Homo-oligomer: A and B are copies of this chain.
């Protein structure tokens, strides 16, 4: 399930990319860090081990890693994009009130994807942008006001 840094580095080599310190550290941060890091958060993590790594290096590496299919990015709302390993791709539900992020059950999008495909010929890729709404707690709070 969870990839090791070495496996991801191997993917880099297979893709014809070079393996640098910064790149390895970005991958390490993705494997070991919190669940939905932004580029900024990854930069901070990388800098704890290599303080001179530049922000643009992290951005360019994430771009390259995405091109190789190693990572994907998701927009959870108005702010910065978040990154995770492609092997962990999944849909997101984000609460507009409290900002909580839920991972969507795999089959939640199925009916909608089927409908869009059948009726419009449109192939849904619902992982790139989160679907917003109001989480159970915030909905309950709102009802008690």
A contact set with B: CB distance below 8 Å: 75, 78, 93, 95-96, 102, 104-105, 108-109, 111-112, 115-116, 119-126, 128-136, 139
Q: Which residue of B lies closest to A142 (CB)?
A: B123
Task: List B contacts of A115 (CB < 8 A).
Answer: 105, 108, 111
Copies of this chain, whole number: 2
Across the interface, which residues of B come within 8 angstroms of A111, CB to CB? 111-112, 115
User: Contacting A108 at CB < 8 Å: which of B108, B116, B132?
Assistant: B116
B96 touches A125 (CB 8 A): yes
Point out the residue from B75, B122, B128, B133 that lies within 8 Å of A135, measured CB to CB.
Answer: B122
Q: Which residue of B lies closest to A111 (CB)?
A: B111
Least Cβ–Cβ distance between A122 and chain B, in angstroms? 5
On chain B, the residues within 8 Å of A78 by CB distance are: 75
6 contacts between A and B (CB under 8 A): A75-B129, A93-B124, A112-B112, A122-B134, A126-B132, A126-B133
B-side contacts of A128, CB under 8 Å: 96, 132
List chain B residues, Cβ under 8 A from A116.
Answer: 93, 104, 108, 133
Q: How far is the CA of A31 from the CA of B119 in the complex (A)?
A: 29
Having A120-B136, A121-B136, one finds 13 other A-B pairs with CB under 8 Å, namely A95-B122, A104-B116, A105-B115, A108-B112, A112-B112, A112-B131, A120-B135, A121-B139, A122-B134, A123-B134, A124-B133, A125-B134, A129-B130
